[in-house]
Amino acid sequence: MTAPTAPSLVFDTTCLSHFARADRLDVLGDLLAGDDSFVPHVVREEIREGIRAHPELAQVLTIEWLRIVPLDNLDRLRAFTIWTGRVGAGRRNLGEASVLAVAEELGAVALIDDRDATRVGRAHGIAVHGTIWLLARACRDGKLTEVGASNLVDALSGTGMRLPCTGADFPRFGRVHGLL
């Protein structure tokens, strides 16, 4: 009997950007070993635009374990248009809309830390989780200790990332919310 495979992950800008700003993309790559990880071209362009303010984001553009998904056919463009309408037509939500469109197509988990986009995605049947879920999953899988996850939460928070708990509170938060 073979072990079940983990679902594919589709990343929004926030998680990738803050891991890069914390100089922890190598750790993220280790945590995702064996996973199929994707980023829509729209998100890649958001990251590219952020390089002027945060040069360390350039390293996201060269990650080998992250596959780029272009919005290059009519079905993807239609799905992107639908999701743009659902999450809000503002430029601010284009990354989230593209992540939800690709996650829907692939049957993947959308990794989004935006509360409103998460709510919309879940309301339409998409599995949507955030960075804390990803760290808790790594703990459950034995790839990361709770102390290591707590340290990552603090490192990410130190870059300005808004998370629902501090590093010190991560174990309790994870248990209360059924993540650990």
Average pLDDT score over residue span 19-29: 97
Give the HSE-up count for residue 132: Cα atoms under 13 Å, Cβ half-sphere. 24
pLDDT, tens digit (0-9, with 9 covering 90-100), for 37-92: 999 999 999 999 999 999 999 999 999 999 999 999 999 999 999 999 999 867 77
In the predicted structure, residue 4 carries a pLDDT above the cut 60: no
Q: Is CATH 3.40.50.1010 correct for 8-129?
A: yes
47 contacts 16 by C-beta, under 8 angstroms: yes
Q: Give domain limits for the chain.
A: 8-129, 139-177
Q: How far from the centroid of its chain's Cα atoms is residue 60's Cα? A: 13
The edge-to-edge listing of strands for the beta sheet with 9-11 is: 66-69, 37-40, 9-11, 109-111, 128-129
How far apart CA 109 and CA 125 sit, in angstroms, is 11
pLDDT at position 89 is 63
How far apart CA 156 and CA 132 sit, in angstroms, is 11
How far apart CA 94 and CA 65 sit, in angstroms, is 23
pLDDT at position 5 is 63
pTM more than 0.75 = yes
Using alpha carbons, list the distances in angstroms from residue 12 to 45, 102, 110, 141, 144: 11, 11, 8, 22, 22
The length of the chain is 180
Q: Provide the 3-class DSSP secondary structure of residue 128.
A: strand
Q: Provide the 3-class DSSP secondary structure of residue 11.
A: strand
pLDDT, tens digit (0-9, with 9 covering 90-100), for 108-158: 999 999 999 999 999 999 999 999 999 999 999 999 999 999 999 999 999
